[in-house]
Amino acid sequence: MTEMNEPIAFIDLAAQQRAIRGRLDAAIGRVLDHGKYIMGPEVAELERQLADYTAVKHVVSCSNGTDALALPLMAWEIGTGDAVLCPSFTFAATAEIVPWVGASPVFVDVDERTYNIDPDHLQRTIEHLRDNSDLTPRAIIAVDLFGQPADYERIEAIAAKHDLLLLEDAAQGFGGRLNNRAAGSFGDAATTSFFPAKPIGGYGDGGAIFTDDDDLAERLRSLRVHGKGSDKYDNIRIGRNARLDTLQAAILLEKLAIFDDELQARQAVAGRYAAGLNGKVAVPDVMAGALSSWAQYTIRVADRDRFAAALRNEGVPTAVYYGKPLHLQTAYRDYPLGPGGLPVTERIAGEVISLPMHPYLDEATQARIIDAVLAAL
């Protein structure tokens, strides 16, 4: 519990560490004892447990959530002249890896209730590209923004209809579910990030790729170690160095052990926000059949700067994800947009603001946040 004017944490990683510090120290100690810092036994164990957790056949851990997105594009040999459709209302990594392989991102608008890629606009963008562009649509990257799975029932059907590959960016979505399938199990492959502030984070960079495709998994395992064949001195393709450290895997195993309890605590926090704020401000809308991992609790307000300042005065931190969508960023402004542009993205980017959200947010502190939000509105 926090005192009246004590600052509140936006994401309280220290509280989580206090809960499992002994187990973390022991896990780190075991790695220091065996000394297998690269691809040690904890890496394989983490991959096995993540495969279990998501009910996916193969998990390939890697260096970070950005490389996790890039490796499948490399494995699928997506390149020059190809288009990869993705939202603009997301973190830069989602689109950044597309030019890495020489292809072009094509930005699609989002649904204003879920903030995830709009299947109708996706469909129209594919048709528009087929008729009006030299680019060949090859893949879709859908993002589970703020923790909620995208509308995969419709997106998987669109991908199948147009013979496109589908990559799920579950960097924020790990732990979420849709119709009893786990985030990480949608599309031809899915990815996540273990950046410290994500729903499941390590103490450094890390990521993972999930797939049921045996051949893809084998290529990913090769690509993450310099395109190795029988070993890293046998190079059968151009790869990268994109491995997950053993130390991070050891830490992540301890975080995974408490992840379901944390996920439940996040649901309780989201429930209390909804009870306190619903009807007073635009609270997140979770689709029927969906469970959010609540990477963020994002509301929408008209006068955002004034609202954020009022909360700051009460010791309540907020954050804006994403105030400037990718298609308006300097680096991305020359890439194509779906037909009619991205009006929803542009409108909500000016209104979204995220409140403190983490599993250790106690009721009294949260009541203080809710009071401050209501007063600031």
Contact residues for ligand PLP, defined by CB under 6 A: 64-66, 90-91, 93-94, 143, 169, 171-172, 193, 195, 205, 207
Q: How far is the CB of 169 from ligand PLP (least distance, A)?
A: 5
Whichever of 152 and 307 has its CB closer to ligand PLP, that residue is 152
The residue nearest ligand PLP at its CB is: 65
Of the two residues 24 and 171, which places its CB atom closer to ligand PLP in the complex? 171
Contact, 172 vs 296, CB < 8 A?
yes
CB of 10 to ligand PLP, least distance (A): 15
Shortest Å distance, C-beta 281 to ligand PLP: 24
Which whole-number Å values give the CA distances from 242 to 76, 97, 171, 185, 226, in the listed order?
17, 14, 16, 22, 8
Q: Which residue number, 65 or 277, has a Cβ lying nearer to ligand PLP?
A: 65
Of the pair 41, 204, the CB lying nearest ligand PLP is at 204
Q: CB-wise, 199 or 338, nearer to ligand PLP? A: 199
Q: Kindly tell me which of 103 and 143 has the beta carbon lying closer to ligand PLP.
A: 143
Minimum distance between the CB of residue 273 and ligand PLP, rounded to whole angstroms? 21
- Chain Cα centroid distance, residue 78: 22
Between residues 171 and 372, which has the closer beta carbon with respect to ligand PLP?
171
